[in-house]
């Protein structure tokens, strides 16, 4: 299993410790250009951009290359974030992974399922992690921001947040920050039907982090990702506090709501099914985002009493 923290911040003593180089694919597009500036302002070490036909230019002081091979050769970066339309995602992602990228943040939404499956398979062969498609990205508060999330909801700390929804990741993290539960890492796995790092894989990439005291999982109705994660928590005997929130409890059954996966058939994918399975794993489920820090505080208090 790839160590996500090592990819993002490295090890003490590394020359680029907490300053891992990042490449932006599609840096000259409207969204790529804007969010590159936002990432730079946060302190992210954006070292290169890639836009075919724009090689030799610069954006916000960042050199632009024609190809990923050129950018990786020049910078040694292992992280890339993609800002290209969905129809160009496949070629951009293949180029990134073939050039040696080990962490690929896939921002585009509505990526064709076949293309997403191709990239997930290639990433496995290359021992790389793909976060997304349709992800807000990853943030380690105070250190690195690779994505489109605003900086204000997040605060340095020791709680990990994994979310199927981007905006709910912001809201839950804000509530945690207000309650003085800072975050060690927050990332959205993506709202498209195919995820490069589904809930279980996302959970496993951060579960052993020395800087994690607890984990918050933000899920939603539809599919069985939460049920499978709950069983995984039971099977692997994970003993740190875990709290969950499930969006869409009031959604009518058999009606698609928002994300492509948020559809319920009978009891399959229902909030009731997920809450029931989480209960077996001793994971309390908040009824609203503001309740998450209260449940987390309760889990820590029970741990101290023991």
Catalytically active residues, by annotation? 259
**What number of other Cβ atoms are within 10 A of residue 85's Cβ?**
12
CB 131 within 8 A of CB 105: yes
Radius of gyration of the chain (CA): 19
d(CA 236, CA 220): 23
Closest by alpha carbon to 92, among 139, 24, 36?
Answer: 24
Q: Is 219 exposed, middle or buried (CB count within 10 Å of its CB: 0-12, 13-18, 19+)?
A: buried
d(CA 192, CA 111): 7
């Amino acid at each position: 299993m790839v160590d996500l923290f090592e990819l993002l911040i490295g090890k003490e003593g590394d020359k680029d410790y907490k300053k891992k180089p990042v490449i932006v694919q599609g840096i000259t597009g409207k969204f790529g250009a804007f969010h590159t500036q936002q990432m730079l302002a946060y302190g992210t070490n954006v070292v290169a951009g890639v836009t075919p036909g724009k090689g030799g230019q610069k954006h916000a002081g960042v050199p632009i290359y024609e190809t990923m091979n050129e950018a990786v050769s020049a910078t040694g970066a292992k992280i890339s974030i993609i800002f290209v339309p969905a129809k160009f995602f496949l070629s951009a992602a293949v180029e990134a992974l073939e050039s040696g990228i080990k962490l690929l943040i896939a921002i585009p939404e509505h990526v064709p399922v076949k293309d997403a499956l191709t990239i997930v398979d290639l990433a496995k062969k290359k021992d790389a992690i793909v976060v997304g498609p349709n992800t807000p990205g990853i943030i380690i508060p105070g250190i690195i921001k690779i994505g489109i999330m605003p900086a204000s909801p997040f605060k340095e700390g020791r709680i990990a947040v994994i979310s199927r929804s981007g905006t709910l990741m912001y809201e839950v993290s804000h509530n945690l920050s207000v309650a003085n539960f800072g975050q060690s890492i927050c990332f959205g796995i993506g709202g498209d039907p195919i995820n490069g790092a589904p809930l279980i894989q996302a959970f496993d990439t951060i579960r052993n982090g020395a800087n994690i005291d607890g984990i918050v999982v933000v899920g939603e109705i539809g599919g069985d990702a939460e049920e499978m994660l709950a069983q995984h928590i039971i099977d692997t005997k994970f003993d740190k506090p875990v709290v969950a929130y499930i969006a869409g409890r009031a959604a009518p059954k058999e009606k698609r709501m928002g994300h492509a996966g948020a559809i319920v058939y009978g009891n399959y994918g229902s909030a009731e099914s997920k809450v029931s399975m989480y209960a077996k794993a001793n994971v309390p489920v908040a009824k609203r985002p503001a309740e998450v820090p209260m449940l987390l505080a309760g889990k820590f208090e029970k741990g101290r009493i023991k």
